[in-house]
């Protein structure tokens, strides 16, 4: 019996799995707001007390670089260590494992079901070709898989923190605006849950795109302003030109960076987009704008047009971390 968790900067999925039921079928599951807890240990102990199911192993994916069984979370004020988790949960150290959240998502890719995916570009996949994974959530996660003889191997990455590279005049203006506010402007500060409000404020304050007062109040009062902006761009009964423009810029920047990842790892096996922000902005990603910016790589445009792009519509990281944790004995390498 395994307790597994996908620890996000905004929300966390916790679940109990058994070897018999497998990684797609949790026996119990709960989603909680990450910021409501002082530590991962407190969150997990509360969940176990609720479900009253004994576990003999634990596996969690966390946003941030996991080094030597320890991680300082990127978008939460936590330091998480395998040794402390094992002690708090009364488990052996060998039965507890931490991994990067995008490594977990990448691990899930080979075992995703057709119902877990929405295809943006069918392309022409190359069997055993490298696979890229890009996931805008609270932050921007990136990872990739390579074929190693008999299976795909997942690799973690912190590519979302690489330098934001503008590709048009509007994005140049956005970069100049953000450089006044931040010492380092990464892709995460533009195409993620953190980044969407930055785009919104630039378009409002610099380009002076008008905003409906009712929408402006909702955005200002929202616990997560990116959620309010996305809703106003697509679902609000009051159309917001500013919110729609914000998501257009988000989609164009994301597409450019997805194209960068495709070139860097030569992802002829495809690109998989994950994360809650992708799911909620899917109506924009399905427009021609996304493929236009994805393919705009000069002489390599034709190559990129052949690369399949799929949106993951399930919480894939939880599937990946459960798949790892159900292995017997607990594996020490990220092999799928």
Give 86-104 as a DSSP string: HHHHT--GGGEEEEEHHHH
Dist. CA 15–CA 31, nearest whole Å: 9
Place of tokens 């506010």: 181
In angstroms, the first-to-last Cα distance of the chain is 20
pLDDT for res 331: 46
Q: Which residues of the chain have pLDDT under 70?
A: 236, 328-336
Per-residue pLDDT reduced to its tens digit, 274-290: 998 999 999 999 999 99
Strand partners, 311: 118, 273
pLDDT for res 237: 79
pLDDT for res 257: 98
> Order of strands across the sheet with 152-157?
117-121, 309-312, 270-273, 131-136, 140-147, 152-157
* pTM of the shown model: 0.88
* Region of 151 on the Ramachandran plot (φ > 0 left; ψ -120 to 50 alpha; else beta): beta
Dist. CA 28–CA 31, nearest whole Å: 11
Question: Torsion angle, CA of 276/277/279/285, rounded to 10 degrees?
Answer: -160
Q: Tell which residue, 178, 104, 132, 138, has the closest CA to residue 280.
A: 138
Sequence-ordered list of residues with C-beta below 8 angstroms from that of 107, at least 6 positions apart, any chain: 154, 320, 321, 323, 324, 334, 336
Query: What domains sit in the chain, N to C, each tagged with a CATH number?
Result: 2-104+316-325 (3.30.420.40), 113-313 (3.40.367.20)
State how beta strands 270-273 and 131-136 pair: parallel
pLDDT for res 11: 87
pLDDT for res 334: 39
- Please answer whether residues 219 and 188 qualify as being in contact, where contact means their C-beta atoms are separated by less than 8 angstroms: no
Per-residue pLDDT reduced to its tens digit, 102-123: 999 999 999 999 999 999 999 9
Strand partners, 2: 17, 57
Per-residue pLDDT reduced to its tens digit, 194-216: 999 999 999 999 999 999 999 99
pLDDT for res 63: 83
- Please answer whether residues 63 and 101 qualify as being in contact, where contact means their C-beta atoms are separated by less than 8 angstroms: yes
């Amino acid at each position: 019996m395994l307790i597994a968790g996908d620890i996000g900067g905004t929300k966390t999925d916790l679940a109990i799995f058994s070897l018999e039921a497998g990684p797609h079928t949790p026996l119990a599951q709960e989603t909680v707001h990450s910021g409501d807890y002082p530590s991962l240990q407190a969150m997990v102990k509360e969940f176990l007390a609720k479900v009253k199911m004994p576990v003999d192993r634990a596996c969690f994916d966390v946003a941030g670089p996991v080094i030597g069984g320890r991680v300082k979370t990127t978008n939460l004020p936590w330091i998480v260590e395998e040794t402390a988790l094992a002690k708090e949960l009364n488990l052996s150290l060998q039965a507890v494992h931490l991994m990067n959240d995008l490594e977990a998502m990448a691990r899930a890719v080979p075992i995703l079901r057709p119902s877990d995916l929405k295809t943006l570009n069918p392309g022409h996949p190359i069997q055993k070709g490298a696979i890229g994974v890009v996931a805008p959530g609270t932050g921007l996660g990136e990872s990739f898989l390579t074929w190693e003889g008999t299976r795909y191997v997942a690799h973690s990455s912190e590519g979302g923190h690489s330098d934001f590279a503008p590709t048009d005049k509007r994005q140049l203006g956005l970069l100049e605006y953000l450089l006044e506010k931040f010492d380092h402007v990464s892709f995460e500060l533009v195409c993620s849950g953190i980044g969407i409000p930055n785009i919104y404020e630039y378009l409002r304050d610099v380009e002076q795109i008008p905003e409906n007062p009712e929408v402006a109040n909702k955005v200002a009062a929202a616990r997560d302003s990116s959620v309010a902006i996305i809703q106003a761009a697509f679902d609000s009964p009051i159309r917001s030109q500013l919110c729609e423009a914000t998501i257009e810029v988000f989609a164009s920047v994301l597409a450019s960076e997805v194209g960068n990842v495709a070139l860097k790892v030569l992802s002829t096996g495809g690109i998989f987009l994950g994360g809650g922000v992708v799911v909620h902005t899917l109506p924009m990603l399905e427009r021609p704008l996304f493929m236009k910016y994805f393919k705009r790589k000069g002489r390599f445009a034709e190559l990129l047009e052949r690369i399949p792009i799929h949106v993951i519509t399930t919480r894939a990281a939880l599937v990946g971390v459960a798949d790892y944790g159900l292995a017997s004995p607990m594996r020490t390498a990220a092999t799928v």
